[in-house]
Chain A
Amino acid sequence: MTVPDRTGSVGRSYPRLDGSAKVRGQAVYADDIALPRMLHCKILRAQAPHARILSIDASAARRLPGVVAIITGRDLPIRFGILPVSQDEAALEEHKVRYVGDPVAAVAAVDEETAAAACEAIEVEYELLTPVMTIEEALKEATDEPIQESFSRRRDNIHRLVSYEFGDLEAGFAAADHVREDVFFFQGNTHLPMEQHSAIASHVDGRLTLWSSTQVVHYVHRALSRVLELPMNRIRVIGAVHGGGFGGKTDPFAHEIVVGKLAMLTGRPVKCTLTREEVFYAHRGRHPTLLWYRTGVTRDGRITAMHLRTALDGGAYGSYGAASVFYTGTLQTVTYDIPAYKFEGVRVYTNKAPCGPKRGHGTPQGRFGIELHLEKIAHELGLDPVEVKRRNFVKPFSRTVNWLRVTSCGLEECTAKVLEASGYAQRERRTGHGMGFAISAYMSGAGTAIYWNDMPHSEVQVKVDRTGATVYCGAMDIGQGSDMVLAQIAAEELGIEPRDVRLVTADTDLTPVDLGSYSSRVTFMAGNAALEAARKMRALLVEAVADRMGVADLEEIDVGGGRIGEFSFEEACVIATTRFGALSTTGSYKPPRIGGPFKGSGVGPSPAYSYSAAVVDVEADPRTGIVTVGKVWIAHDIGRSINPLLVVGQVEGGVYMGLGEALMEEQEYRKGLHKWPSMLEYKSPTFLDTPPIETFLVETIDPEGPYGAKEAGQGPLLPVIPAVNAAVFDALGVWVDETPITPEKVLRALDAKAKGKPPRHGPRSFPAVPYGEPIRVDPPARDDLRVGAELEAAFGQTPGAH
């Protein structure tokens, strides 16, 4: 693909399209919607972490004035879940609850207070079961019954086991001069979007409309159809202006289904807005994860083999977990060249709020571990950690041992930028001051859809008529600015300004299907679909204009600056409509088959990976253990920056969120209860905790991204966390091998060091897990870049093994 000059809107910084509405309080979020005769819904949630429901008596609640309807699990018996392999949730549980916060009953009433009072008046009789609260407990046989008693066929609480060996591990370790093992723990944490989840449903003319603060209208649409037993053509899901997701609004949720059901039962609109406490229970956040690494290296630090084991605490339900477990292990190879790689992972059920995808989805844990592990290897060999990492960087346009295809890769450039800007090599060396360096990679959208189908992942329509151009796309702008990116792409191709493009997004009645805003996929996938649709439209406009001008060579017709040939864009629209009739073009994007010839190869491939490198500067006080971040330098290989202002915004937000995870955020439980389901006690960085961030955008022009673009929403979070830990080691000579790095842990590590023990704080061992025999996979030729049909022909297998 040729890269057009940046004469148009691509590559320019435009503020977001709805910026004015947002600063004026005019943007309409889900909870801002109020419809005539609207009822308010409250959900009664389990107060026990693990219990059988013996009976539910709502008779007293029903008698309260103002209560209009009450439903329980009996009214919504069909189970659902985001992945086809994990249909293990109910909108309301009928027989059993699995975590404190599990939904049990729902009330629709004239106001929220009445609904809440009615919830309190519902009597639920429970038979308590033994709660399972740790990975170690979950690996053992269940005391009374497994948490997913009927969904799982096992007697323990293991949800998912994966085991792979790519290449010859034994030979790899045999070739090593040095072998090292390390254990790490990554604590769970949550998205904490500022907006509490909210959904409002209305049932009119036999059609259900739902407005929701969701990241994926399509997945909500599917879940509603399944559980409410309505054909999809009777349901319309509209993404309201979005108050923050970070992965936390990517699953379909109980409250979305419940308001739909209540609206159908009562004939009145019904709204449910979660309280902040309920948001903590809705969760789907970072999996607490134990990691064990064993790596062989040559004397000069080249990796010869790596063996990684991970164990993920999944909480009570599947959510995206079957994918999350893969993500803790798959992407290590797209940053470092690992000639032989064994990866074993397990995800267990526990009686906690379900974990799922949070910014970085499964990869921050693995990234944290591998970066610190390589640091330790370098120190042990007496080598510079940065140099060791660099020696192992993957090469652009290569294939990894686990069949992932790397295209553009700006690791070297990113590394050079942050090292130079931070003065890393010349940093001030004194006790209490340190710098840490780390790198990462992330996917520009997953290569495989979460439910098996052969359709595009993104579909876009462009319509032109005498009133101008409109782009229709199912993607949801969740604050990252994807609407502006779509407008810029259309504007670039049509030669107009982004503000002159009308956008209709995230409305299942109006927009073609898009798999939504998660997995860092919108710019790449919806962008490519928009590009195709807009180019087709441009061709029609140019043809009509050339015809009118009597020009035979279409190349002679210039498009840009609001003009097509000698006509204004508006005139061109009239000319083209006159010439062709109604004008509508479409574009779609489906990633090619990239994964290798083995079961499970669908998790990890992406049409392009973004790369980041970061240096973090810290002050770490050896007396108090307090770690203060002075500054973060981050360079991000964005492929091409379609809108630098928005990209930098994503990078800064990712760095901030990474710092929160590194230093303070943790979702902890005690006696079956969430310890901190409030914003005051769940610590997240305030304005005062957030240091200056210096961002460098590196452009590598990816061959498959729209104009060469790759993702920015998730990757930049990843290197920050291990870089903070490395900086603490640089400052104090001790390792905190788990997140978050609290002052207490720093002091414990210093204490260990003072007592002559290993200078670290962190997990000591990794539990025994019945991973089973690995699937052994022969590595591809490392320069084999084939994808799609060509690749499949090479291994003679149909796509979709997953």
Chain B
Amino acid sequence: MPTWLDREVEKAVVRLLLNGEEVEFLAPVHKTLLEVLREDLGLTGTKHGCELGECGTCTVLIDGRPQLSCLVLPLQVEGRPVTTIEGMAAGASDHPLQAAFAELGAAQCGYCTPGMLLVAKSLLEANPRPSRAEIQEALAGNLCRCTGYAKILEAVELAASRMVAT
């Protein structure tokens, strides 16, 4: 029995399609997707900067669209595909965005990076040739304190050009 105070906490079994694999877990219904990913499923690649929906750091993709995992309850996304940073690379080879971020120094402390990458991924899937303004707009909900965003912008552009070329 969960021990929060002395009242029963409702738990539920939830099934997710997580990074292409079916996972099933039992968790208190009020536990956020962020917490379940990090604490119950061991996927600590998803980071958090506020846990209040303010910084974009905890972004994951649900049905390919960016969502703040600190504001999502697993039951809400039952059965739907969820992509975290751990699911971005295809095996040993990095996604072109990951390669470009690493190459150009778009990750300094790297803490905002998983969220940035996933938002950029969904952007490029919807819009393979985004303008600078479109990239800035798409990533405006993700804060970064290290890079001044400059290298992130360059990395998204570089990845986009490589992806279009292949």
Contacts and interface: CB of A to CB of B under 8 A. Distances in A.
Nearest to B39: A34
B143 interface: yes
Contacts of A24: 45, 85-86, 88-89, 94, 98
Interface residues of A, number: 62
Contacts of A478: 109
B149 to A, nearest CB: 5
A479 B108 contact: yes
Interface string B133-150: 001110111111111111
Given A25-B84, A679-B143, A194 B54 contact: no
B111 A243 contact: yes
Given A22-B113, A678-B50, A652 B147 contact: yes
Contact of A656 (B47, B98, B148): B148
A684 B145 contact: yes
B36 interface: no
A646 B107 CA distance: 11
Contacts of A765: none
Nearest to B150: A652
Interface in A5-50: 15-16, 18-29, 31-32, 34
A687 B89 contact: no
A275 interface: yes
Given A16-B105, A194-B143, A479-B108, A679 B55 contact: yes
Interface in A185-227: 191-196
Interface of A is mostly: loop
Interface residues of B, number: 62
Given A25-B46, A687-B136, A649 B145 contact: no
Contacts of A23: 85, 94, 97-99, 101-102, 107, 110, 113, 117
B115 to A, nearest CB: 9
Nearest to B118: A25
Given A656-B149, A686-B143, A32 B3 contact: no
Contact of B102 (A22, A31, A688): A22
Max chain A C-beta neighbours (<10 A), residue from B6, B43, B86, B105: B105
Given A24-B86, A193-B145, A244-B146, A65 B102 contact: no
B10 to A, nearest CB: 14
B110 A22 contact: yes
A244 B49 CA distance: 11
B41 to A, nearest CB: 12
Contact of B109 (A25, A32, A113, A194): A194
Given A28-B44, A479-B110, A690 B149 contact: yes
A246 interface: yes
A21 B98 CA distance: 10
B126 interface: no
Of A22, A114, A193, A684, which is in contact with the most chain B CB atoms at under 10 Å from its CB? Answer: A22
A653 B143 CA distance: 13
B67 interface: no
Contacts of B57: 194
Contacts of A66: 3-4
B50 A481 contact: no
B105 A15 contact: yes
Given A25-B43, A654-B148, A679-B50, 4 more contacts: A23-B99, A192-B145, A193-B145, A688-B140
29 contacts: A15-B105, A16-B102, A16-B107, A19-B103, A21-B110, A23-B94, A23-B107, A23-B113, A24-B85, A24-B88, A24-B89, A25-B84, A25-B86, A27-B110, A65-B5, A114-B3, A194-B109, A194-B112, A195-B47, A244-B111, A246-B145, A275-B51, A276-B54, A481-B105, A649-B105, A653-B108, A679-B50, A679-B143, A688-B140
Interface of B: 2-6, 38-39, 42-52, 54-55, 57, 84-86, 88-89, 94, 97-99, 101-105, 107-114, 117, 135-137, 139-153
